[in-house]
Homo-oligomer: A and B are copies of this chain.
Amino acid sequence: MERSHKQALMAFLLVFSQGAYASGGHEDQVASMLLGLMILFLGAKLGGLLALTCKQPAVLGELFAGIVLGNLPLVGITGFTELGTGDFFSLLSSIGVVLLLFEVGLESSLSEMLRVGGAAAVVAIIGVVAPFLLGYGVGVWLMPDRSIYVHIFIGAALSATSVGITARVLKDLGKLHLQEAKIILGAAVIDDVLGLIILAVVGGMIGSVGQGGGAFSFADLLLITGKAVGFLVLAVALGSRLSTFLFRNGGKLRQEGMWLSLAISYCFFLSYLAHWFGLAPIVGAFAAGLTVDQAGVAKFFPHEKGDLEDHVVYLARFFVPIFFVHTGMGVDLSVLTDSTVVLFGAVLTVAAVLGKQVCGWGVWGTAAKGIDRTLIGIGMIPRGEVGLIFAMYGAELMLNGEPVVDKALYSAIVIMVMLTTLMTPPGLTWALRRTNR
């Protein structure tokens, strides 16, 4: 056999030895995706196991597994980077957090959420204002020669709340029924609206003096806020009716799998709508869960076993760990090599934690009876991706030819996000054990 023929055959084998069901390239992609998912699942389970052994919530272990997988390049292993940076896994992880908030919404009820609405609003506002002021103060203290806009940006980066971690921990520990849990979840929804306002104001202010941002306009701000609030009002007013209508008519069809398909479609539709109204998709997913009356719709599906949540839970077991391992993979340990940055990050973290601790004191009146203010404060700690968005946005904003958030500040914010995310699961566990709840 000639050499050129052999090479041609090898090329042929490379393309076609993958079986007859799809073209080589696609089937290669499928196979590595399956392997990647397997690594994510096993990583999540191993990490979860480790965490449970240490009497910590499984989610901490999933984050830890992600940190290990994501930082393997630091020791020269680059085979897993696609799991952290690839679009496919990133989208799957988004389905994970959407399903998680849908599940959390299913376990809560709209009327209970509305009952704590006032308390949640105050908690949210304090939880935004206090960290903002502290972050601003840290900026003035440690970066006195930088412009006021830089200080404002640090404050903004410290203000938002990322609800995924807290929701997961409270759900895993079976504590979603607690008054504190409802206040935290309600505050997180309101935080999303507040975050929009802050982004618009801060971005507008910087844009009006620098480049790369927009100008500040009260009318536009009103529009943004109005849209976001409009979605919440619409969801509360019409969501329950829409979901009951959907399930009542869907149930009549007696088609296998209709219940789950309708539920997922309703959840994804509200997530999309929330995005369209300017809010995060997970706010829509949570609203979807809240506005499904589980006991009420179950009677439309007498031929299906259990509650809706019993159906969604298996999907969630597939997608949710992907989200947390993926979040862990976003943690870049290489920022920890610069001691100045680490110190700055530690100070920001202290400010971020203290800023949220005053939240709990926002609960007043009858709602405050027997409430654990520390639990609320700890539940509001995680910044997750939200802080990173602010940091990335600031890194792209130019002021007098320099980025508002420079590389050192960006890394310090990353450290703050890492620490607040990682301390929340053990923090919540501690707070719950402390009061035996």
Interface residues of A (CB under 8 A from B): 1-2, 5-6, 8-13, 16-23, 26-35, 37-38, 41-42, 44-45, 48-49, 52, 58, 87-88, 90-91, 94-95, 98, 160, 162, 192, 195-196, 199-200, 203-204, 207-208, 213-217, 220, 224, 227, 253, 255-258, 260-262, 264-265, 268-269, 271-272, 274-276, 278-283, 311-315, 317-318, 321, 384-386, 389-390, 392-393
Contacts and interface: CB of A to CB of B under 8 A. Distances in A.
List the 9 shortest-distance A-B pairs measured between CB atoms, nearest first: A9-B214, A12-B214, A19-B280, A20-B195, A5-B215, A314-B314, A31-B275, A21-B280, A34-B268
B275 A91 contact: no
A21 B215 contact: no
A257 B199 CA distance: 39
Contacts of A11: 214
A19 B196 contact: yes
11 contacts: A2-B215, A5-B208, A9-B214, A12-B204, A30-B91, A34-B269, A38-B268, A87-B87, A87-B88, A261-B317, A315-B318
- The secondary-structure label for the interface of chain A is helix
A37 B268 CA distance: 8
B315 A280 contact: no
Contacts of A258: 45
Contacts of A38: 264-265, 268-269, 272
Contact of A19 (B31, B208, B256, B275): B275
A58 B255 contact: yes
A430 to B, nearest CB: 22
Nearest to A390: B20
Most chain B Cβ neighbours within 10 Å, of A207, A321, A384: A207
Contacts of A314: 260, 311-315
B9 A207 contact: yes
A256 B317 CA distance: 9
A160 B256 CA distance: 31
B31 A271 contact: yes
A260 B315 CA distance: 10
Contacts of A272: 31-32, 34-35, 38
Most chain B Cβ neighbours within 10 Å, of A10, A38, A255, A274: A38
